[in-house]
Amino acid sequence: MEHLQRDIKRCRRVAVYGTLKRGYRNHDWLEGATLLGQDRLSTITLYDLGHCPGAKREASNGAAIEVYAINPEQLALLDQLEDYIAHAPHTGVYDRAIFPTQYGDAWCYLYNADVEGDACIESGEW
């Protein structure tokens, strides 16, 4: 748990690839965050879960992301939305990990469930 607290202090950015992006239904959860810009992560692959995409830590041609500067309170709200459980990260709907972006390291939520049968989003755009 101590390393998680260090990571929260060190990483004040989040990389989003789905419903948190501008123009999508959950973007309001980022109210007060500052958009730093767009990037692509070639270390995640997006899968179409129907109502939203899910990312897996897998090599890809690049998943389109938006990177935001956030504060710890905003991260806690996003953890609620994504059903991230800090004391048991592999048991929630999403886990999160830090990935390098052109704007610095950023948290990105990774889908915990199996994606067998879900379509891979080859373009990286959802």
Selecting among 2, 58, 66, 82, the annotated active-site residue is: 82
Cβ atoms of 106 and 45 closer than 8 Å: no
Q: In what order do the strands lie in the sheet with 13-16?
A: 34-41, 63-69, 13-16, 104-111, 94-101
Report residue 35 as tokens: 């958009």
Mean pLDDT for the stretch of residues 75-80: 96
Backbone dihedral region for residue 46 (phi beyond 0: left; psi -120 to 50: alpha; all else: beta): beta
Q: What is the pLDDT of residues 1-39, one digit of tens each?
A: 454 455 555 679 999 999 999 999 999 999 999 999 999
Cβ atoms of 15 and 39 closer than 8 Å: yes
Could you tell me the pTM of the whole model? Answer: 0.90
Residue ranges of domains in the chain:
2-116
What distance in Å separates the CA atoms of residue 5 and residue 93, rounded to the nearest whole number? 21
Q: Catalytic residue at 122?
A: no
- Selected from 3.40.50.1000, 3.40.50.12780, 3.10.490.10, 3.60.20.10, the CATH number assigned to the domain covering 2-116 reads 3.10.490.10
Q: What is the pLDDT of residues 96-119, one digit of tens each?
A: 999 999 999 999 999 999 999 999
Does residue 79 surpass a pLDDT of 80? Answer: yes
